Amino acid sequence: MRSSDLPAVRALGLFRSMAEASFEDLVQAAYLQTFPAQLDLIAEGDPADFLYVVMEGCVELFAHANGRETTMAMVRPVNAFILAAVLKDAVYLMSARTAHKSRILLIPSENVREAFARDDAFARAIVVELANSYRTVVKEQKDLKLRTAVERLANRLLRYDAEQGAHGTVTLPHDKRTIASLIGMTPENLSRAFNTLKPYGVEVTGPTVTIADAAALAKLAQPNPLIDDETS
């Protein structure tokens, strides 16, 4: 791993408070690799051999059942996956593939568990990381179970707009198939939902979405910080 990558890894909340010796041991056991787009990294049901840290690019977490596939999450820099399986020495519950060309740090699971056992600060950081992940899952469940498909899409567009500067023009960060899967819809239902949002000032041209009346869209969406605030 390049020395220039160390500050970015060290800044990740998971590793920020580690003792220097523990951190050095961990990164010395790891290796950094560049993967092309659409490459399968892990498969659900396989043993969790590594903790993965996305340094550049984007990774899609997805799952299969009964002939169906769904996107579970998109992981961007600098974030780790899949921590719970690594700590439990269990199998992966999700698969992962690169959405774009990506540079990923692979840390052997055994080394992560050893650091967890001997470095109290690292152990506390892991507890916080898992707590944040749990809260994210609860919010996603509330979004799916308490909102209609149109409301979910409206809130997602408002979130993207806020992330991109609240200028009323959103560049969709993923293709429409992926966005549909993230919010629990089929691509066909996503198209119908976009049409439903037209009276609320939403226009779609390829990957660009124009929000002409954010107030009207927010009135429909009724954003709730207990669902939509990703920082709490």
The domains of the chain, with CATH numbers, are 3-144 (2.60.120.10), 148-228 (1.10.10.10)
pLDDT in tens, 112-143: 999 999 999 999 999 999 999 999 999 999 99
Q: How far apart are CA 153 and CA 159, in angstroms?
A: 10
Residue-wise pLDDT for 57-114, tens only, equals: 999 999 999 999 999 999 999 999 999 999 999 999 999 999 999 999 999 999 999 9
Residue 97 DSSP class: E
User: What's the token pair of residue 123?
Assistant: 């152990």
- Looking at residue 93, the DSSP 8-state letter turns out to be S
Q: Which residues contact 28 (CB under 8 A, 6 or more apart)?
A: none
- Phi, psi dihedral angles at 81 (to 5 degrees): -155, 155
Q: How far apart are CA 70 and CA 62, in angstroms?
A: 6
Query: pTM for the whole thing?
Result: 0.91
Q: How wide is the angle at C-alpha 73 spanned by C-alphas 68 and 76, nearest 5°?
A: 140
Tokens of 174: 């993923």
